[in-house]
Structure 1
């Protein structure tokens, strides 16, 4: 009997299509396995291909829909057969060591929704590393991937224009092209992406007008086109165009027109930023409908407001925005008075900036109700009246700026309640009375400015000894009387002191000599008398500007002032000085010294046109003293003089063979010889060894006439570059004094007992050792871990050090080796940045190396893992390079993982690892010991607060360690954000 089997045509077609997928996978295997015999063992004829490892098929068509080969040992290439898997929706090829080019046939995958190909070595015209770090233009064929839901090309080096073909990806929900170099206009076709939720074109060079088609994106939630050169205006029906909008950023463009009042109807709006544009006109009174609003920034060179009394009426509506945390209205044209209802703004309000406006009237007493404020800036307005006592209720304030207004009355004693304050600016007002003693409670103050007021009375005693962290102090142009308190000796970190234009009297106190970090000292236009003190030259080695003019000083000019290497401005005019003017140092530059108004000076450089010094000034006691000395010398006799001269010459000759002159770094008075250092370290004994670095060894020791322990860095001069490192470190540290830099006591350049060259630098001992020890050596740190708060404090300290090096020195200093082993901790766990052996001095501003420090492309400046990418490519050293290393340092403190950890290989590094995890669960990557608060206190408030701070910390580290220098965070912004974290942790 003949039997016929009837097979449906559809079944035949399905079988043939399935066969296509199987053959495509087998061909792909040949390319992927790269000669490794055991790769993909299940991919054979014994199993249906839908049962093969890493393959998932759709139930209906039995076609490959998911292919996930991530984290396998493969290492081959991708073959063109991949394009035959036409039902593929998800393709994940993460970390399988692929190389070569991605085949263009991938463009056939019309159903593809997710493409992940990061952590490989792919190249060519398709973006790599999850479509990151691609250099070139955006391929036009992306438009053929109709099922793609997310395209993220942000933070690359992309150039050219945005291809209009992207408008064909109808399924696209997330388009991120921020932080590139794209130019041209925004394609009109993007308005066809009806499913788009996020559009991020921030920080490019885009120009032209915003295409009207974008206002068809009704599903948009995040609209970010800030940081470009876009022009035009906003539509009047924003709420109809973007009904689901949550975040709207168009700052730093050239967009004009009136304020878009229709945003009041965007009830989902969380962030709104239009700063640095050209908007004008009033703000609507309907903003109170935005009950989810958190960030509202309309400041910085707009022209909002009309300078009228009603300009700030909109603040009443903002009181309904109960989630508002950041409110920036600065640099506009808002007139009127601050309404009393300002105290009804959100209890979550942390930042309030309304400076540089023509606002008048008084500060409402109810401002004291904004108890969450960490930053309050009302400076440069026309505010008047007294500063309300209620300001003392803002106990979380870290920065308070009321300068350049018209305030009168006294500084309220309640200022002493602001114990978190680090910056207080009240200069340029009409404040009266004395300086309140309660200000001593603000023990965290670093910057205090109360200059240009009408303050009177003595500078209060027992006040400034509590403010040991002060870095800048401005009290000039007041009517302060009395003497400078001796307790100023406690201000070890003080860099700038302005006391000029007051009524201070007495002698310049020797206690100022303890302010070793002083770079600017202005005492002119007071009533100081006596002589110019020698401590100015012997102790204040970092002085750059010194003004003692218009006082009653009467003495010779100390010749020792010649030795102040960094002194570039010296004003001694209008005193009663006499005698010979020195000619060295600052005195050799006629444009740097001011001596007029002193009648009895002589000598000096010819340009001063002073009379020659034929005899000393006509001071009877001085001439009498000189006469006695001349008689004494004549009586001694030539033989005795010759004998003394012979002894001196023999002594100096013998000493020079053993211990030639050791130049001090000008930071202190300590002078040491090789023999003293040998004795101090028990002959450089191994029992005194505390570490070994690239160019030498570090020993702990103690000097006979120095009360504190020291450490001695002995250079191994046989190591290539050690001598250069010694000179670089001496040069870099010579003029630097900062509370967060390791204190250099002196240096020694001599010969040892074997007659060999010897070079060493002597530092103040840091009892708690290095940050590296506390992060990784539990035995050395006594099994005690650094808390997150301590790590934030350390990060702030190092940031202050870098800010000083990069911005506050005469020549910009680039450290070139920021890492945990170079961060040292004192008794109080205050961090100090050390080891300047690789430091560079920059001339001509940021980014330009000095001629003697031009970097070489053959030398890596720094330590592997911390070296910025541009250095490895031969780029010059720059402050941005230090920021990169600092960012890695932050991420290392956060994760407890070195950047050279074995988990980081190929294209994965600490920066990318953290960047991927920020948007996921941050607790997955943090150092395990930082999770203790979650174990001990499970309350949601503590957990969420700490978790948010960890995330903010990670974001700063990632922002600092971006690949391209121009994209890295500014160090001053780092400090502000870290202080915000610290403030949040203390809540």
Structure 2
């Protein structure tokens, strides 16, 4: 008891002053009361008798702050209804005192010099808000702490509880702290669950049950959905996947459907027997041409179709359209090539009056493409028609139609080239004026060769003598290529040499002094009739 008296000697000094001055509130006392003259010596005496006092360990001593803490202590001791505040200050009891509890919590200097006699702190049922009042934990000697029935939030400072070795009663119930894993908090293992009821620190069983139910039911559903989405991406829309995860050159019906707006009629650019041709735009912006094959074939034929498409995807030549890939599903077969924003040779011939030089350049490019295919990929079949040969912006011809499932035949390719060459000179629309179609067209030209070719050569061409001579030779070459009765048909190498020589010679001889009209030499240009 003597030690307690020594500790609380400061309180008695403050109380004696309070009896001299009219009793006032704690705030008024803090503002008006001054330390007595012998306050310094009193503090030194207390520290001499009990060095463990908190203010004894402060360096340097702030006497004004220490005195203020004694004022707060005297008021708080009385408010907490301690029986004899001069002799004893065992507890701070601010239970259900919401008006003054926050005030006393704000006096950080008091908690800094918390009297050693305080063993119990009760701040329950005060609707306290904000974070944990960590200042109260500076009373490290306390045995009981009650902060229940408040609205405290945030994390509980576990490390600050470590010095409270005497704490045996703790109540943090009915708050809103952040949940912690109690198994990781060694200090809290000394208290049972009743200390943390509805505090937010312990997992709520109902919430835990709900979470467990969501986990048990939701996770499998999530897995199924993710697998379904991944499967849809892999097998339906792999164009949404990174390039490293896509199968090269493979297209799915969903990709082609999206590229053509559902195979809309506005994107249908051509039809032929068993084939629909669409234009489209892939997800990355690539313009494509899509050939849809409508015929139903066997499984073995589908396998050959894929093997042929793999070959086509390797074609690389300036006069062959680039093959981007294929589609080979149960419902759809298609070949996907780059789309050249230009006209076919057929449209180009019908809408313009191209001179002989440009026609000869196109024929030369077609022959170069044919030679590449024969030398590098002899198994690839292709179509040679003025309607299927496309033109790039610099008038480079592009072989754009391939005959999948139809093995390449050298004699048939030469025949088709002969027809193409005749159409380049004569410029006819297949089927017009000839009841027997292509055969009638060839026979019609043969009837006028070589004497009256002026009647079959395209009348729109501005013909010089040299141009007319080369056109005549081209017609003769075309008739030789289409002559199926001859036992000695030209080969592609011979045709290439003849066309190349003609184009190179035209490059040399085409100059203003040499341009002389056929049938009227020396009298300027004249359109051949």
Q: TM-score, normalised by structure 1?
A: 0.26
> Is the radius of gyration larger for structure 1 or structure 2?
2
- The structure in which a higher percent of residues are strand is 1
Q: TM-score, normalised by structure 2?
A: 0.47
Asked which structure has the greater RCO (Cα within 8 Å, sep 6+), the reply is 2
- The structure in which a higher percent of residues are helix is 2
